[in-house]
Amino acid sequence: MYQIDDLTKTYRQGKRVVRALKDVSLTIGDGELVAVQGPTGGGKSTLLQMLGGLDRPTSGTVKLDGKDLAGMSDTQLTAARAETIGFVFQNFNLIPTLTALENVETALVPSKIARQSRTARALAALDSVGLGDRGDHLPGELSGGQQQRVAIARALVKNPKVLLADEPTGNLDEETRDEIVDLMVGLWKEQGLTVVLVTHDSVVAARTPRRLRIAKGAMKELPPR
Amino acid sequence: MFFTYLRRELRNRRKQTVVVAIGLAVAIALVIVVNAVSTGVKDAQSEVLESVYGVGTDITVDQPAEGPGEGGGPGRFDFGEGEGEANEDGTRELAQDRLSTAMGSTPFDASALETVAALDHVSGVAATLGLQNMSFSGEMPDMEEGDGPVTMQMGPDGSGQGSAGGSSFEIEQFTITGVDPDATAVGPLTTAEVADGRTLEAGDKNVAVLDATYAEQQELAVGDTITVGGKDLETVGTVSSTTGDGVATASDAYLPLATAQTLADLADQVTDVYVQVDSAENVDAVAAAIEDELPDASVSTQSDLAEGVTGSLSTASDLISTLGTWLSGIVLAAAFGLAILFTVSGVNRRTRELGTLKAIGWSKGRVVGQVAGESVVQGLIGGAVGLALGALAVWAVNLAGITLSGASGGLTMGGPMPAGAVQGGDTPPDGGGAFGERADAFADAGNAVDIVLQAPVSLWIVLAAIGLAVLGGLLAGVVGGQRAAKLRPAEALRSLA
Ligand SMILES: Nc1ncnc2c1ncn2[C@@H]1O[C@H](COP(=O)(O)OP(=O)(O)OP(=O)(O)O)[C@@H](O)[C@H]1O
Ligand SMILES: [Mg+2]
């Protein structure tokens, strides 16, 4: 699914230059579930941004399905994010003024499908995360775990090839964390997705077949268990 | 989704929405009111002008007096020695009628009328002869031989009565306009309608039509006679102004032009030419052409005349054109600024939200459109409220019936004149009675036209107001949208809440 070669990302902050990723090379196969671990500031989120086409690498290539994200135009990147890549965030990032159902629907807005089938698909996605009856609730009326379920439904409603999650359980208590991890692992198994899960929680990482560690911009593979 | 999201967002930040909308509403209401009132004041100004110069007069031509003291002036009475009837108590009964051209104007040859009529783009002309009639009656002390003639001078516009050095007298004056009964398209009578009897007709001779207000004041009616320049004329009708109730017309009395010329001993002479021009854009060109043809004449266009309008009307006009324009400009700028400020701060607050939408595949255009859409709708709400507010304010202004009064500079107007008293001094040692004191007060008080302010709201200004509101929203949307466009989708991953 992903073929990453010599990926480097540097940030310039005034005079200071931060090398968030240094010559990272990595292959992620179709349908893999990979955990990315590491200390804070190590470069985990930066890697996820590169994988998701949210930002451009300073050098190197990030091939998704054989196409280099680094060489794509803004429009192409936008299309890739709209169709191929699903995101889940630590802070859920739901639109506070829209209901759960409408939040899920926002992911289908770029694909311009008819309103009725959009709503039907969003409802089905909410159902699959166990919130079929909470569609008309605003995010503020839902618990953290429920909000993250809505966010997962939003990420998956468009049937992406890749699911990228940045600390999806970082803001949740242990019990809810386990529910969410169960849900994600379950969906991964069902739908044959490729999942990259950034976490500094080793309990979460322990649920995945493959683990990577990034520290100071350098990446290494952790031994499988 | 666009409208759902837009509606929710605006409802969610109700306070900002209300503040921005009210800001725009106030600004737009102000623009509407200022425009309506200024249109109303302009209308009132042209009404004042119409009451003097008639409807459809684009240019007036007259010839100002060359200098003071020439020809004795209209208010001068000269009595030769032994004139009048001697009374037993040593005084003398004197009576004199003087008919002369109106103050400040010089008669000129009527051929000017043909000259002007022959010019391109002139669609109508009429000439009038503005006169002033003064009559003196009273008694003066009998002069002894060798004292020379007695000269008395009155204020140019004034009637007066008084006594000095053993004399008692009365002076009455009224204004007369000689008009051509055939030329009805332009001229002072275009704003006059018959109140009683009839108006002047072709072939009329030695008859007069009176201003209804003057007639009432003088207790004159159709069939009565008035004395002009010593000659008795029959009153065939009275006219009142179409400009408003109780508004005097341009002159106290109207005579056929030929009669006026004969009585004033001014054959083929006129004092004013009224010119109608075929279209507004030719007015200046025609005015210039007249100035070329008649170098001695003073040529005034409607806008020149408008500048000559005095009174509360001109104060209102100045106020609205300076303060009103400035105020609405400043408030408009403030409202736009407010809209922009709130939109930008809204985008900043929603950095993560908008970044997330980009991260999940919303295009730049869609995100910008959403932000701009919110601002434009805010502008529309402001526009609608402003329109209602403005309409309400204009309605209130019209309901209040604000009366503006204006007088036009160049011409002596008719109508009721207040009786003024002339201060009489002691008879000077040489025995002549000199009564001076220009009675300026006479000129100011009587001839103002009162007009109730009617502020119209045109469709054009309604559209312009809505346009301004949308523009304000659009401007804020563009500035806010630009911010949203620059926003990186990676902002979605920022961990700060
Ligand atoms: N937009 C940016 N501008 C400048 N420096 C940045 C930016 N984003 C990240 N960095 C820097 O790059 C390095 C890697 O950051 P990154 O967010 O990838 O770390 P992380 O592993 O996700 O950490 P955390 O566990 O705290 O989320 C850090 O030193 C960070 O300060
Ligand atoms: Mg991170």
Q: Which residue has the tokens 């409807």?
A: B55
Q: Minimum mean pLDDT among A8-22, A158-172, B163-177, B232-246: which range? A: B163-177
In contact, B420 and B172? CB cutoff 8 Å: no
Residues of A in contact with B364 (CB under 8 A): 74, 78
What are the tokens at B69?
Answer: 């003291």
Residue B401's pLDDT band, with cuts at 50, 70 and 90, is confident
With pLDDT > 70 as the criterion, what percentage of chain B qualifies?
Answer: 76
CA distance A188 to B104: 103
Residues of A in contact with B497 (CB under 8 A): 91
Residue B243's pLDDT band, with cuts at 50, 70 and 90, is low
What is the per-residue pLDDT for B60?
Answer: 85
Q: What is the pLDDT of residues A108-144, one digit of tens each?
A: 999 888 999 999 999 999 998 899 899 999 999 999 9
Q: Which of B173, B155, B148, B152 has the alpha carbon at shortest distance from B163?
A: B152
Residue B416's pLDDT band, with cuts at 50, 70 and 90, is very low
Tell whether B445 lies on the interface with A, counting CB pairs under 8 A: no
Distance A47 CA to ligand 2 centre (A): 9
Q: What's the gap in Å between the CA of A207 and the closest CA on chain B?
A: 23
Q: Which of A69, A183, A204 has the alpha carbon at shortest distance from A125?
A: A183
What are the tokens at B120?
Answer: 């391109």
Say whether A98 and B4 touch across the interface (CB within 8 A).
yes
Tell whether B349 lies on the interface with A, counting CB pairs under 8 A: no
Residue of A nearest to B365 (CA): A75
In this structure, the dihedral spanned by the alpha carbons of residues B6, B8, B14 and B18, taken in order and rounded to 10 degrees, is: 30
Interstrand relation of A218-222 and B59-62 (parallel, antiparallel or unpaired) = unpaired
Q: What is the pLDDT of residues B360-390, one digit of tens each?
A: 999 999 999 999 999 999 999 999 999 999 9
Distance B494 CA to ligand 1 centre (A): 9
Q: Which DSSP category does B492 fall into?
A: G
Query: Does ipTM exceed 0.90?
Result: yes
Q: Is the pLDDT of residue A51 over 90?
A: yes
Interstrand relation of B167-179 and B253-256 (parallel, antiparallel or unpaired) = parallel
Interstrand relation of B122-141 and B108-109 (parallel, antiparallel or unpaired) = unpaired
Q: Is the pLDDT of residue B211 over 60?
A: yes
Q: Which of B52, B49, B54, B51 has the alpha carbon at shortest distance from B184?
A: B54
Q: What is the pLDDT of residues B333-349, one digit of tens each?
A: 998 998 899 999 988 88
Residue of A nearest to B358 (CA): A78
What residues contact residue A53 under an 8 Å CB cut-off, 6+ apart?
A62, A64, A69, A72, A77, A80, A81, A85
CA distance B36 to B461: 8
Q: Which of B7, B14, B493 to mutate to test the interface with A (most CBs of A within 10 A)?
A: B493
- Cβ of A20 closer than 6 Å to ligand 1, yes or no, is yes
Q: What is the pLDDT of residues B46-88, one digit of tens each?
A: 777 776 666 677 888 888 776 554 444 445 566 666 666 666 6
Q: Which of B440, B39, B58 has the alpha carbon at shortest distance from B274?
A: B58
For B101-165, give the DSSP string: EPTTB--EETHHHHHHHTSTTEEEEEEEEEEEEEEEEEEEEPPPTTS--EEEE--TT--EEEEET
Residue B180's pLDDT band, with cuts at 50, 70 and 90, is confident
Tell whether A78 lies on the interface with B, counting CB pairs under 8 A: yes
Which atom number of ligand 1 is nearest to the Cα of residue A214? 21
Q: Which of B357, B360, B495 to mutate to test the interface with A (most CBs of A within 10 A)?
A: B360
Distance B361 CA to ligand 1 centre (A): 23
Q: How far is the first Cα of chain B from the last one, in angstroms, to the nearest whole number?
A: 25
Q: What is the pLDDT of residues A5-46, one digit of tens each?
A: 999 999 988 889 889 999 999 999 999 999 999 998 889 999
Out of A7, A17, A45, A55, give the residue to mutate to test ligand 1, the one with the largest number of ligand atoms within 8 Å of its CB.
A45
The mean pLDDT of chain B is 77
Say whether B9 and A109 touch across the interface (CB within 8 A).
no
Q: What's the gap in Å between the CA of A16 and the closest CA on chain B?
A: 20
Give the number of A-B residue pairs with CB atoms closer than 8 Å.
Answer: 84
